[in-house]
Amino acid sequence: MMNLMEINEAIAELRRQEDALQWPAFNESIAWDLGCSLQQAAALSSCSVHIEIEAFGRTLFLCAMPGTAPSNADWARRKRNVTQLLHRSSLAISLGLRRDETDLQKKMGLPDSDYAAAGGCFPIRIVGCGVIGTITVSGMPEFDDHELIIEVLKSWQENGWAQPSFEL
């Protein structure tokens, strides 16, 4: 269990990630390549995850890896709803609610059946534009779902926002 100082430090780090990992541009082709990168990174780590990329009001990438279940898709939908509504990573929202000792139902009247404050969804931000979509991973513990997204985004960023190579 994290103490208050650890939670606040983690929330600050999540804000830094959100500020740093902004795309210069984003389109359907990038979404496909990014989704494939996430799938390859998960496979390299022997993880079974459900991956969704949504932007422009459409699902642009969807992959349910072997070993996932329909519940992973439902968790992804509920985490995505949180990020779409609040334009923050679902992990940041989860930690903020823990810090404040509340939940989305109490704080905003949002039903648990449609909103899950659990890590694994990250906003797609365009520099100078704002949030245009989400990247969601579901199937591991919340910090691991989040970390898979961040590792892949950092690889893309380090490669000039072009698809990096993931060796299988």
User: Does the structure show a pLDDT above 70 at 168?
Assistant: no
CA dist 27 and 50 (Å) reads 21
- pLDDT level of residue 165 (50, 70, 90 thresholds): confident
pLDDT digits (tens, 9 = 90+) for 93-126: 999 999 999 999 999 999 999 999 999 999 999 9
Residue 110: which H helix or E strand, with range? none
Evaluate whether residue 21 is within a structural domain: yes
CA dist 45 and 105 (Å) reads 35
Q: Tell me which residue has tokens 């992973």.
A: 72
Supply the pLDDT for residue 93.
98
User: Does the structure show a pLDDT above 60 at 130?
Assistant: yes
Q: What is the DSSP letter of 45?
A: T
Lowest model confidence (mean pLDDT) among 92-96, 148-152, 160-164: 160-164
> How many domains does the chain fold into?
1
Evaluate whether residue 23 is within a structural domain: yes
Q: What is the DSSP letter of 51?
A: E
Evaluate whether residue 37 is within a structural domain: yes
Note the pTM of the prediction, 2 decimals.
Answer: 0.96
- pLDDT level of residue 166 (50, 70, 90 thresholds): confident
Which tokens in the block code for residue 108? Answer: 């905003």
Instruction: Residue 54: give the domain boundaries.
Output: 4-158
Evaluate whether residue 165 is within a structural domain: no
Supply the pLDDT for residue 167.
65
Evaluate whether residue 61 is within a structural domain: yes
93 closest CA partner among 116, 70, 69: 116
Evaluate whether residue 166 is within a structural domain: no
CATH of the domain at 16: 3.30.450.150
> What mean pLDDT is predicted for residues 24-53?
97
pLDDT digits (tens, 9 = 90+) for 43-88: 999 999 999 999 999 999 999 999 999 999 999 999 999 999 999 9
Alpha helices in 45-124 (DSSP H): 70-86, 90-99, 104-108
Evaluate whether residue 163 is within a structural domain: no
Which tokens in the block code for residue 34? Answer: 């990014």
Evaluate whether residue 152 is within a structural domain: yes
Positive or negative: CA dihedral 80, 84, 85, 86:
positive
User: Does the structure show a pLDDT above 90 at 158?
Assistant: yes
> What mean pLDDT is predicted for residues 142-157?
97
How high does pLDDT run on average in the chain?
96
